[in-house]
Structure 1
Amino acid sequence: MSGDDSRPVHTRRQGLDPADELRAAGTLSRITIGSGADAEATWLATGYAVVRQVLGDHQRFSTRRRWNQRDEIGGTGMFRPRELVGNLMDYDPPEHTRLRQKLTPGFTLRRMRRLTPSIERIVTERLDALERAGPPADLVRLVADEVPGAVLCELIGVPRDDRAMFLRLCHGHLDASRSQKRRAAAGAAFSRYLLAMIARERKDPGEGLLGAVLAEYGDTATDEELRGFCVQVMLAGDDNISGMIGLGVLALLSHPEQIAALSGDDQSADRAVDELIRYLTVPYAPTPRVAMEDVTIGDQVIKAGETVSCSLPMANRDPALLPDANRLDVRREPVPHVAFGHGIHHCLGAALARLELRTVYTALWRRFPTLRLADPGREPSFRLTTPAYGLTSLMVAW
């Protein structure tokens, strides 16, 4: 696979669709990521069945990375970099099982219901800001980039007065367009804040995720694990939802006949949200899997020690999942897509993501029923350096 785009093949997109290079790949093929001394051969899985097989088989396909000797994993002889401690995507059972169980109290249906009024308030505040700014106004800057972080602060339990600083440090740490030195400095400050917050929560657990985990597992959850939990929650829930809000609005404005589904009953709105999640699939790929033994898939042999990257956008556009997978249809019945992953690493916050997106989309069109692109002839600007696909801006009018 070749081309001028220097990004890894599995992260390339064309508008709302996967790139031609991905479409040209077979369901399982060999690719090279990087160049020169950093070049690394890996397998790329794009077929729905293959992606499900790899992600669903945690015994033969591990998420363990190649550790350096900074933090030993007790008694195993393996070492885990400090920044990955507590990140569920970098654990296999039984460690994964133990840690995921600790996070579960923060994502119960009861807790999601308690969060709903806060999410509605946050969305209303951002739509107020959109209305004050326009028309025209940038929906990405005023809504898509603001709602997810505010919701995650509410989820974790970050004090309101600290949220602007907390998000600034978080974004500085995750921003791949910044220098490594600046990212490291922001990451160190972000970690210091989290550890100080964890110390406060241990003394007096609050109503957020940290408080819930500490109330249930305070004696066994380490500070580093809790810090890692928070980093993972921010990484998984910020860029992904920001990308989905902006791209979802663009997709609906490109298919105006489908917008009415959002004003129907909850079931219709939920169906629309699930189809948008499948169709857009903003995460490029989950953590690469490492084969623990030789595995035969079709006529290909993945040898022990080789890695497999799974293209979630391509798997969700596979005709094996549904015949017209490249068409957006918010009225179709949900299908078992892999936008939230599959197997033991299926996204713990999937219910929160759906709730958040439904709240944004329905409130947006209820508030601005004549919403439209401010300049329909202008090519949208897509972001390319963030962990998930999205837009850098989307100017709208009403």
Structure 2
Amino acid sequence: MLGRLAQRRIRAKGLDVASLTFLPEAARLPLLRTGTDPVPELAELRARCPVERLDLPFGFAVHLVTGYDQARTVLADRSSYSNDIRHLFGDAGPGSTADVGGLGFTDPPLHTRLRKLVAPEFTRQRLAGLEPAVEATVAHRLDELAAAGSPADLAELVSWRVPMDVICDLLGLDDADHEAFLRLGTQRFDATGGMSAALGAVSEQKRILLDVVARQRSAPGTGLIGRIIQAEGDAVSDDELAGLVDGIVTGGYETTASSISLGTAVLLRDPAHAALARDGSPADVDRLVEELLRYLSVVQVAFPRFATRDLEVAGCPVREGDAVAVSLSGADRDPAWAGADPDRFDPARTATGSHLAFGHGVHRCVGAELARMELRILFPALFRRFPDLALAVPEEQLRWRELSFVHGVEELPVRF
């Protein structure tokens, strides 16, 4: 946890993230893209210094990490950083705007206790039992794409729907809540209006989930929410459970949806890659998916870390209370580990380690294996069902998100 002295120092500067209606210019760099690629300035920064201090308003310092080795070091360090963000909000405290919940913003021992409630549900062995249901969901949504007729928006009919269907079924959420989650999922990652608009979406979704948890207290469902309530009872509070579910819904929907849309666009660039998705062996599809995850890194920046003591990161001095932001898209394009030509999509790539698309360390995405399974099922099914699939507009004319923590497109018009 961040020391009280550092918290007081930050508050004395008048910093209240919830009131910011714009994203400071210096903080925009890791969120900027040219199509599927990070802007060249990010690679230039990494080549010059893999850890760079960005000075933001109110004298607040953020250290941007763009190098792969440095990113892994920061993400794996449990003792030097806190993920608790409540000190950045003027009304910090339980139940406040800052209490956004989710595993990504909690520290041990609370993080450890909450993660243990859900981690067993997301092991590869447990998820194998979900494969038939995911396959049926994918087939249903591809049927709807076909019924819509060519051209159609694959993002609306498939990319957004499949992961939302899967995660809501897993959690035991009512169909009536799907539309609200679809709307709020994109809003909460949009940084064009600063943090105030995004936090409004976070708060609204949290309120919906508090209602869901309250209903299931009296009548537990058959999904994960109901199972946790039955197993833990009052040992887990409504606020804790709603925050935990909020993180699962958000992490299990928006990131996978963007990976489906952008992954489809990337595979359509080369008929050989589309054919590999359609006709390749399971091992071929595994490699294809892993390279897509590395190449796209749709989650652009990891959850912020705050130094709990004075330290150095790759020779860069970091004071207690300073923020450290890891650019996942920058680290995953680092030639020091990805090899030659890291800006090229190459399913045959052999790297010297694992990509960071799901993060690393104790805060690595708990739903990583679920996302992998959805992508491994969806891409072969998509290209087998529509072997002549093509973009309905040139890729450069797609409506890319301009400033979002999760990169993506507003729509993906395709013809078939």
Q: Aligned in 2, Cα 1:134/1:329: closer, same or farther, shift over 3 Å?
A: same
Map of 1:258 onto structure 2: 273
Shift, 1:380, TM fit? 2.1
Tell me which moved more, 302-311 or 171-180. 171-180
Map of 1:205 onto structure 2: 220
Output the aligned Cα RMSD: 2.8
Tell me which moved more, 281-290 or 135-144. 135-144
Contact 1:105 / 1:213 at 8 angstroms: preserved in 2?
A: no
Q: Which has the higher helix share?
A: 2
CA distance in 2, matches of 1:252, 1:169: 28
1:8 has 2:31 as partner: no
Q: Aligned in 2, Cα 1:38/1:154: closer, same or farther, shift over 3 Å?
A: farther
1:332 has 2:352 as partner: no
CA distance in 2, matches of 1:332, 1:220: 47
SS in 1 for 2:107: coil
1:359 has 2:359 as partner: no
Alignment of structure 1 residues 94-109 onto 2, 5 Å: 94-109=109-124
Contact 2:311 / 2:319 at 8 angstroms: preserved in 1?
A: yes
Q: 1:239 aligns with which of 245, 254, 261?
A: 254
Map of 2:264 onto structure 1: 249
Map of 2:397 onto structure 1: 379
Contact 2:181 / 2:205 at 8 angstroms: preserved in 1?
A: yes
Q: Aligned in 2, Cα 1:85/1:320: closer, same or farther, shift over 3 Å?
A: same
One-letter amino acid of the counterpart of residue 306, structure 1: D
Structure 1 gaps of 5+ residues are 73-78
Alignment of structure 1 residues 1-398 onto 2, 5 Å: 8-25=28-45, 26-33=49-56, 37=57, 40-67=60-87, 68=89, 81=96, 84=99, 86-165=101-180, 167-168=182-183, 190-262=205-277, 263-324=279-340, 325-333=342-350, 335-376=353-394, 379-398=397-416
Contact 1:55 / 1:61 at 8 angstroms: preserved in 2?
A: no
Shift, 1:392, TM fit? 1.3
CA distance in 2, matches of 1:291, 1:205: 40
CA distance in 2, matches of 1:353, 1:101: 19
One-letter amino acid of the counterpart of residue 391, structure 2: L
Tell me which moved more, 201-210 or 319-328. 201-210
Q: Aligned in 2, Cα 1:386/1:120: closer, same or farther, shift over 3 Å?
A: farther
Q: Which structure would you say has the larger RCO, counting Cα contacts within 8 Å and 6 or more residues apart?
A: 2
Q: Deviations over 1:135-191 (max 9, x none)?
A: 222212221122222222112111235433554566666666789998777666544
Q: Deviations over 1:32-57 (max 9, x none)?
A: 34xxx567431111000111111110
TM-score (normalizing by structure 1): 0.87
Structure 2 gaps of 5+ residues are 1-23
Q: Deviations over 1:116-146 (max 9, x none)?
A: 2222222222212221223222212221122
CA distance in 2, matches of 1:369, 1:270: 20
Contact 2:26 / 2:55 at 8 angstroms: preserved in 1?
A: no
* Pairs aligned (count): 386
One-letter amino acid of the counterpart of residue 383, structure 1: R
Shift, 1:107, TM fit? 1.9
CA distance in 1, matches of 2:208, 2:99: 17
Shift, 1:195, TM fit? 2.5
CA distance in 2, matches of 1:139, 1:70: 41
Q: Aligned in 2, Cα 1:380/1:189: closer, same or farther, shift over 3 Å?
A: closer
Q: Deviations over 1:94-132 (max 9, x none)?
A: 221111111223323354233322222222222122212
CA distance in 1, matches of 2:224, 2:144: 28
